[in-house]
Chains A and B, each alone.
Chain A
Amino acid sequence: MISKRDKQAVGQRLLAAFRDAGAAEIAPDILLPAESLLDLYGEDIRARAYVTQDPIRGEMMLRPDFTVPVVQAHMDDGAEPARYCYLGEVFRKQDMGEHHPENPRDNEYLQCGFELFSRDPGADAEVFALFHRLLAPYSLTPETGDMSLLLDAVRGLPVSTKRRDALLHHIWRPGRFRRLLNRFSAPVPPRAFPDPVGPWAGLRSEAEMQERVDRLRADMDEPPLPEQWSDRLNRLLALRAPATEAVAILEGLAKDMPAIAEAVARIVARFDAIAAQGIDPARVIFDASHGRANMEYYDGFTFSFLAPNTVWPAVASGGRYDALTRVLGKGREIPAVGGIIRAGLIAEMEAA
């Protein structure tokens, strides 16, 4: 067992390194209003975060992550470019299913993080290289992805706007996405809508229903997505290789899927920038589906650093979350990329 004091000491060391990289330290509240977090993450977060009640402030949540409060703090009074770092506990429940977990996770643990708000295209590489440098002593495997590549690939499919929007919406839920793709790849079976029997009830209006019925009827006439397109998309989703190989495969795929050409060019430029920082891209995994199973807010570059111990969560993880700043900024968008290191896991590796 590593003491909390030792974990804290590792965290302070990482924090100092982030400060040296130009970040200003901020200390967000531990007790956060639940509403914006719930609205953003949905029921998933309620299963994972500790929610409590305050008689005046209403439903509050013990900080489940730093990203939201950091973005809010920046939105309130930040100037760009801005670099922030922080160190503190996050709190996560582990809701057990039918059995108690064999390897229960800590319900409170330290995160040390770095966030960069900048319109500079080199920001992704800067953050990744910084994390890579700090984590170099621990023989972790870096894995990366890029959600904008997948989003662009879907945008480029020859399907109606309605179908495209549904696929984009569910891209973070692989099973549902697959079902939709399969459904759009076959003729739509005819569907009848039964006549109304009872009275109208509830907040969803009859007009809302009619709009969806019209949409479903229109969808019946849409031709199936040609197989070559679902094949291309599936090949893209399955791509996992060292970055040097992956880039070559992506450039090949972009010939058939022009919609991803721009994203591929960004990825190539990013790995060039990463290589320029002295990191060998051949030792960085690129996985096109990396970040899909994560929470919905990453919409660009994503990364994680994995320990050989597969029971552990990622020792560090992060990515680009422009969409989140769009939601929290109420129309204002600030390109943002950042990540966290689990200081406790670093302390355990150092003690081993």
Chain B
Amino acid sequence: MIRLGVPSKGRLMEQSFDWFADRGVRLSRAGSEREYAGRVDGADGVSLVLLSAGEIPRELAAGRIELGVTGTDLVREKLAGWRDVVTEVAPMGFGHADLILAVPDCWRDCETLDDLTSIARDFRAVHGFRLRIATKYHRLVRAWLAEHEVADYQLVDSQGATEGTVANQTAEAIADITSSGATLRANNLRILNEDPILRSQATLFASRAAGGTAMTGLLSQLGL
């Protein structure tokens, strides 16, 4: 039995269902809208598990599901050494989002990461603590800033409404996922003029521990 984990609600679930339907595998919720059990038509030996997208990386790593749909951002943030844990089977062409660093739009002197680095140094001297970057992507952001040798900052945890932290003065900058940038603009934030920390999209992942003929059969049925 191959257990396939798919996000349990919203656009991500619908688009995942469409993606599989285009390849002849019909996924649906079993019974009512409120139930998180799923139904699979058109493929043998596959069961559908509806999960929060954020839990799918962990479930893949734990071997409780063999296949899972989730964002590359979540896999890379949550699974240390992810390439040894899962394989990227197929990028699915939806759920595009960039992990970016954004600063207050009113900072006319801040366009690049070099600017932010220099501002962070000044900020620490004036305020006596390190410039705060609000994010929930601690590992990705820290690794990226370390690679770019940025030092005078600290991360503050923000699990939601991250764009509001600057106005609330609990952070000076944010690192978050954005697709259109509309929420950032509405909160008077501006993306730094750098390549994104990560370009993410919904991706079908397979647990490295899974394999066998059932898996190859399903993947070839999906045209992969």
Contact = CB atoms under 8 A, between A and B. Distances in A.
A176 B109 contact: no
B81 A99 contact: yes
Nearest to B151: A42
A351 to B, nearest CB: 29
Given A43-B145, A202-B167, A169 B106 contact: no
Contacts of A42: 130, 151-154
B129 interface: yes
B155 A43 contact: yes
B84 interface: yes
Nearest to A195: B108
A212 B167 contact: no
B109 A99 contact: no
Interface stretch (B5-13, B17-25, B116-124, B214-222): B116-124
Contact of A166 (B81, B118, B119, B139): B118
Contacts of A194: 108
Nearest to A214: B109
Interface stretch (A203-211, A230-238, A243-251): A203-211
Given A202-B172, A212-B119, A97 B81 contact: yes
A212 B109 CA distance: 8
Contacts of B224: none
A173 B151 contact: yes
The A interface, classified by DSSP as helix, strand, loop or mixed, is: loop
A96 B154 contact: no
Contacts of A201: 104-106, 166-167, 188
A212 B103 CA distance: 16
Contacts of A96: 80-81
Nearest to B114: A179
A176 B139 contact: no
Given A44-B146, A47-B142, A47-B146, A98 B118 contact: no
Given A99-B83, A201-B166, A201-B188, A209 B109 contact: yes
Nearest to A172: B151
A50 to B, nearest CB: 14
A73 interface: no
B167 A100 contact: no
Interface in A149-192: 166, 169-170, 172-176, 179
B149 interface: yes
B121 A199 contact: no
A197 interface: yes
Contacts of A43: 142, 145-146, 153-155
A194 B109 CA distance: 8
Listed residue (A39, A200, A203) with the most chain B CB atoms within 10 angstroms of its CB:
A203
B107 A209 contact: yes
Nearest to A193: B108
Contacts of B166: 201-202
A203 B127 contact: yes
A176 B114 CA distance: 9
Interface string A73-100: 0000000000000000000000111111
B82 interface: yes
A213 B148 CA distance: 23
Listed residue (B108, B121, B167) with the most chain A CB atoms within 10 angstroms of its CB:
B108
A100 B114 CA distance: 31
A200 B169 CA distance: 12
Contacts of B131: 204
A55 interface: no
B143 interface: yes
A195 B105 CA distance: 11
Contact of A204 (B84, B105, B123, B151): B123
A176 B142 contact: no
B1 interface: no
B139 A100 contact: no
B119 A169 contact: no
A61 to B, nearest CB: 14
A173 B149 contact: yes
A100 B83 CA distance: 8
A270 to B, nearest CB: 29
B182 interface: no
Contacts of A213: 108-109
Q: Name the 7 nearest CB pairs between A and B, nearest first.
A: A100-B81, A96-B81, A173-B149, A96-B80, A198-B188, A176-B149, A193-B108
Interface of B: 76, 80-84, 104-109, 114, 117-119, 121-123, 126-127, 129-131, 139, 142-143, 145-146, 148-149, 151-155, 166-167, 169, 172, 188
Given A174-B149, A200-B106, 14 more contacts: A39-B129, A99-B83, A173-B149, A176-B149, A179-B114, A202-B106, A202-B166, A202-B167, A202-B172, A204-B123, A211-B122, A212-B118, A212-B122, A296-B151
7 contacts: A43-B154, A95-B80, A100-B81, A175-B148, A202-B166, A208-B123, A212-B119
